[in-house]
C-alpha cells in the first residue's frame, strides 16, 4: 500500500512540475518571439532543447515509480 502511494506521488509530482515548467518556458518563449521576431528561430531551438530536458526529468519520476513498485 505504501509503495503504491509513493509511486503515485512520485509520478504526480513529476508530471505536475513538468507541466508547470513547460508552460512557463513556452510562455516566456512566445513573449521573446513577440518582442523580437527576428530571433524566433534561435528561441525556438532553445525552447525545444529545454522542453526535452524537462520531459526527461518527468520520465525520471516515472522510472522511480516503476522501481518502487518493482521492489514491492
- Provide the number of structural domains found in the chain: 1
Domain that holds residue 10: 2-71
Please return the burial class of 71, using the count of CB atoms within 10 Å of its CB with bins 0-12, 13-18 and 19+: exposed
| Mean per-residue pLDDT of the chain | 93
State the cell numbers at 70.
Answer: 518493482
pLDDT at 72 over 80: no
pLDDT band at 6 (very low <50, low <70, confident <90, very high): confident
**Residue 20 sits in a domain of what CATH number?**
1.20.20.10
pLDDT at 71 over 90: no
- Residues 9/24, Cβ–Cβ less than 8 Å: no
Amino acid at each position: 500500500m505504501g509503495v503504491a502511494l509513493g509511486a503515485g506521488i512520485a509520478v504526480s509530482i513529476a508530471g505536475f512540475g513538468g507541466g508547470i515548467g513547460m508552460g512557463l518556458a513556452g510562455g516566456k518563449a512566445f513573449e521573446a518571439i513577440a518582442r523580437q521576431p527576428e530571433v524566433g528561430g534561435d528561441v525556438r531551438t532553445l525552447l525545444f532543447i529545454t522542453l526535452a530536458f524537462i520531459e526527461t526529468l518527468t520520465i525520471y519520476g516515472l522510472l522511480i515509480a516503476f522501481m518502487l513498485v518493482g521492489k514491492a
